[in-house]
A and B are shown apart, each in its own frame.
Chain A
Amino acid sequence: MRVSLFITCYNDTLFPATGQAVVRLLERLGHTVDFNPEQTCCGQMHYNTGYQQEALPLLRRFVRIYRDAEAVCVPSSSCVAMMRDHYPKMAAEQNDAGLARAVDELLPRVYELTELLVHRFGLEDVGAYFPHRVTYHASCHSQRSLHLGDLPLRLLRKVRGIELVDLPNIDRCCGFGGTFAVKMGDVSAAMLAEKMRDVENTRAEVVTAVDNSCLMHIFGGLHRQRAGVETAHIAEILAATESDEVPA
């Protein structure tokens, strides 16, 4: 299948390794990856902070770029949630029937990475090898907007060498929340403290998630404490193979 990658603005800029892992993984599974460099951002930051007018051109941009895509892969559940939860309403408010129809037609072809793998490709074992103790953080949008349930865990369970441990209070927000993390920095930090306690109790080496935004926040806190715990987007675990583990 020809998969169009929407890498998202922050993965593009801050986490290129995640995008590289998505490409490596999808190509290993026999698919062709497209990357249209006209893409920028889904508009979530603007929309959720109250700048809804500013998000609208980004919706139009997204539709223009991907309207003919066979499948759009997004390695970020919160960006997919932005599209599913808000694009239809935003388009309807424009009284632009063409735009509303284009959104309706496009959205069923937009997949968060683990949805693409499990729902579209029917895969759980992607042939990965990752010999580490890992705990999975379920981001709020992945749980409550996308209703991913155990999709990511089903993929992780099939990874060879992995030692998967449950994160206590998995349904509790880590305190990132986009601009919340800086607007309400102290409250966000208090929420992070609880999450880090839960992470450290698992004695995992690596925390993974389907969103690098939560992971940036969680890792930021763990690193400040010199906790010696890493974070990795799920794509990076699923892309890893035995040859990656051979010392150079």
Chain B
Amino acid sequence: MTLYLLKRLAVLVASTAVAAVVVFAFMGLLPGDPAEIALGVNATPEAVAELRRQFGTDRAPVVQFLDWFGGLLHGDFGTSYVTSSPIGPQISDRLAVTTVLVVGGMIVALLVAVPLGTFAAVHHRNPLGALISAASQIGIAVPAFLAGILLVFVFAVQAQALPSGGYVPIAENPAEWLRGLLLPWLSLGLVQGAVLTRYVRSAVLDVMREDYLRTARAKGRGSTGALWRHGLRNASIPVVTVLGLQLATLLIGAVVVERVFVIPGLGDLLLNGVAGRDLLLVQGVVMVLVAAVLLINFVVDVAYHLLDPRLR
């Protein structure tokens, strides 16, 4: 297990470094000279050269990359060429908001998928189980931002029970914070829950066919008891893999949902950066999101090994 962990950790570090090279090569080198862009078309060559020195873009690309990547390792994302403010603090503030959004969405997805998926598996021969399968198929076809718009229509326009958007920091007003996040959580969670329900169902179905479950039933446990005691842990193995991949999907889905509900998270920062042509900011946010996806994949792989004794 330790050996596996070390190997997998090495892969994580290597792929993050390669991803950083890719992001830097793409964002940092291809577009026009930030100094020229900042000064406009009428700038003198001397002024451009001076600003280039200040930005550090007069150095060799390799040096620039090492400087940027070295900074990332201790949370320094550089200073924006456009707003002249440090990027790191902005990213960490926004990351906190997005994390709350994603974790809440994941919890909603689990609350929907585990009971429904298990129920659909146990009752896979009767109409109610089939109905859940059909409903999940429809849920999969609805993108999160569309779910968001539908939820706003129902809960904000019709019922007028919840705000249609906006974000109140928890320190300011915890009740409003919660009210503002309910619909975004539901938009992300219901859609992912629909996807997850299918995986939970098929995982539980697979486990129900196993000999050890029949043995447990034969020993006198009821079928619910047997499933509870022996089935769910084993069914959780394939589900955890899917869950991790979904966490990555949720992170990206949050970018879109933040736009629907006007929530100041990473996605909002990213899109504002693009609109303001703040490429260093975009580069930083993209890197954080990519690193997060890689980290999630790492955690999934490790969790998979911990859960499945056959792999130890």
Decide if A and B are genuine partners: no
